Amino acid sequence: MDPRFVYDSFVQLLAGVPLTLELTAFAFALGLLLAVLIALMQISGLRILRIPAGAYVFAIRGTPLLVQIFLIYYGLGQFRPTLQSLGLWQFFREAYWCGILALSLNSAAYGSEVLRGGLQSVSKREIEAGRACGMSGLLLYRRIILPLALRQSLPAYGNELILMVKATSLVSIITMMEVTGIAARLISETYRPVEVFIAAGTIYLIINFLLTRAVSMLDWWLTPHLRGMSTIGKAEQAK
Amino acid sequence: MIEGAAMQPVISLRNLRKSFGALEVLKGISLDAHKGDVIAILGSSGSGKSTMLRCINMLEIPTAGEVVVTGESVKLKKQGDGLAIADRRQIDGIRARAAMVFQSFNLWSHMTILENLVEAPIHVQRRPRAECIAEAMALLEKVGIADKRDAYPAHLSGGQQQRAAIARALAMHPQVMLFDEPTSALDPERVGEVLAVMRALANEGRTMLLVTHEIAFARDVATRVVFLHEGLIEEDGPADEVFRNPKSERFRKFISNTQHR
């Protein structure tokens, strides 16, 4: 192994970092929006909403992301005339948008389960206090339920963010030149997979390290009410 | 006309019934609470006293009967075997006028004490922020925890949390206050500080309905006592009178049992 070549590859791969981050950010944001919607459908108690949401999560979580990417990128090509007539072909023609769509749909399925857990963890008593003060519907969600649920979900959702960073490497298969895409090109030019992949792995490691730190900081900042208190101490205090 | 309005009860329950499945918890309760009344609602567990209180602000929807709060009859519609809320907005308004204090405080854990107090005045009643904050500070002063304004509920003792919850209820300018066993979840040495706050409110002439196990407090502070047994009112009268000369044998037993503890 040649350290010098690892370093050179590292520098070249940095060119793919912006695209990796862009794909992550887009997919994560869209995924989060969709995840909130699906989680609310799941806990709505209405069969007509719960069943489609459950089926969606079941299908997406039960199939590989790579298969989903192929289905969207190659599969939708079969419906080109229909998509053209709907004016959507512009969108599905681009590997970029197909990749983001697949990643978002995937993230939404996993994220919705995390949020569902968070929503279900919100204390019935705090919700009841909100109702007793005259809050209902959106106001109750906006002021009480969602702030508590999102805080509860944050650590687990940070995990989802990291999975998403790594999942973007899969869209290199559909021609996207993010970090892994550039790595694959370098290997085909140099036949030195060890150095190139070590460099690529290091980049993902650095990105994920920084994101993990950022999520912990956000968590710390959002939960002053839990600071300096063990679970047992809290139960005692509540008496 | 004005005198008529003054005589009108703040809360009026008419033949109130509530069932949970096959179990009928309230079997026809009628009760009027007038301005300035401090009504202690007593009864052994399972007698339906908390359910009755929770039917007033519709945290439980009655199965039959009528609830009138500050002259406004709660609009309910038929649904299946029972009733359902017909006008969401009306209920939200009534809930702000009949503020509730819970057994386990139920403060919002992600908000500071001050934020807990101004939440409903700002977001439900849409009053000016500065006014709400100034008023909340005065209320915290009144219940003796002004120094805790920026603390979170989990960092307070139970007694302090319950006093904060009482201040949160007061912040909405309620016309009547509903207390649901406010001292039952407290350590014995914390009960006194909460009762002192409630006594001060009673002395101000506030209308209060109080579900409690504190017989001594009821005897001392309440203007009227209502004793529930198996979903019906068994004894009802001025506090000093019912304790001195109870009409119902069950209530006589109930007070002698609780006094010997």
Per-residue pLDDT of A192-212, as tens digits, reads 999 999 999 999 999 999 999
Supply A41's token pair: 């459908």
Q: Rounded to an integer, what distance in angstroms lies between the CA atom of residue B58 and that of residue B165?
A: 19
In this prediction, residue A76 carries a pLDDT of: 87
The mean pLDDT of B119-148, rounded to a whole number, is 94
pLDDT tops 80 at residue A216: yes
Q: Dump pLDDT digits (tens) for B57-114.
A: 999 999 999 999 998 899 988 888 788 888 888 998 899 999 999 999 999 999 999 9
Q: Within a domain: residue A56? A: yes
In this prediction, residue B2 carries a pLDDT of: 46
The mean pLDDT of A41-60, rounded to a whole number, is 94
Number of folded domains in chain B?
1
Q: Within a domain: residue A229? A: no
Q: B123 — contact with chain A (CB < 8 Å)?
A: yes
Supply B44's token pair: 């052994």
Q: B191 — contact with chain A (CB < 8 Å)?
A: no
Identify the bridge partners of residue B85 per DSSP, sorted by sequence position: B76
Supply B141's token pair: 């002063």
- Nearest Cα of chain B lies from the Cα of A130 at a distance, in angstroms, of 8
Q: Dump pLDDT digits (tens) for B201-255.
A: 999 999 999 999 888 888 888 999 999 999 999 999 998 899 888 888 899 988 8
Q: CA quadruple A66, A71, A73, A75: dihedral positive or negative?
A: positive
Q: Distances from the Cα of B204 to the Cαs of B184, B221, B235, in angstroms? A: 24, 12, 26
Residue A198 structural domain? 3-224
pLDDT tops 90 at residue A45: no
Which of A133, A138, A221 has the most B C-beta neighbours within 10 Å, making it the best mutation to test the interface with B?
Answer: A133
- Here the CATH number for the domain that contains residue A19 is 1.10.3720.10
For residue A6, the SS3 value is helix
Q: Within a domain: residue A145? A: yes
Are A132 and B57 in contact (CB < 8 Å)?
yes
For residue B179, the SS3 value is strand
What is the number of residues in chain A?
A: 239
B131-134 contact pairs (CB < 8 A, 24+): B132/B171
User: Predicted ipTM?
Assistant: 0.90
Identify the bridge partners of residue B179 per DSSP, sorted by sequence position: B101, B210
- B31 closest CA partner among B51, B14, B54, B49: B14
- In this complex, the residue of A134, A143, A238 whose CB is nearest that of residue B95 is A134
DSSP assignments along A131-174, one per residue: HHTT--HHHHIIIIIHHHHHHHHHHHHHHHHHHHHHHGGGGGGG
Q: Within a domain: residue A77? A: yes
Supply A124's token pair: 């019935």
pLDDT tops 80 at residue A227: no
- A158 closest CA partner among A113, A212, A110: A212
Q: Rounded to an integer, what distance in angstroms lies between the CA atom of residue B2 and that of residue B189?
A: 46
Q: Are the CB atoms for A163 and B150 separated by under 8 Å?
A: no
Q: Within a domain: residue A236? A: no
Q: Dump pLDDT digits (tens) for A135-147.
A: 988 999 999 999 9
pLDDT tops 80 at residue B27: yes
Tracing tokens 């503020």 back to the chain, one arrives at B99
pLDDT tops 60 at residue B145: yes
- Here the CATH number for the domain that contains residue B231 is 3.40.50.300
Taking CB atoms and an 8 Å cutoff, what residues of chain B touch A123? 106, 109
Supply A104's token pair: 């978002």
- B90 closest CA partner among B77, B81, B79: B77
Number of folded domains in chain A?
1
* CB-side neighbour CA atoms (13 Å) of A217: 6
Q: Within a domain: residue A146? A: yes
Residue B119 structural domain? 2-259
In this prediction, residue B222 carries a pLDDT of: 92
Supply B240's token pair: 């000093």
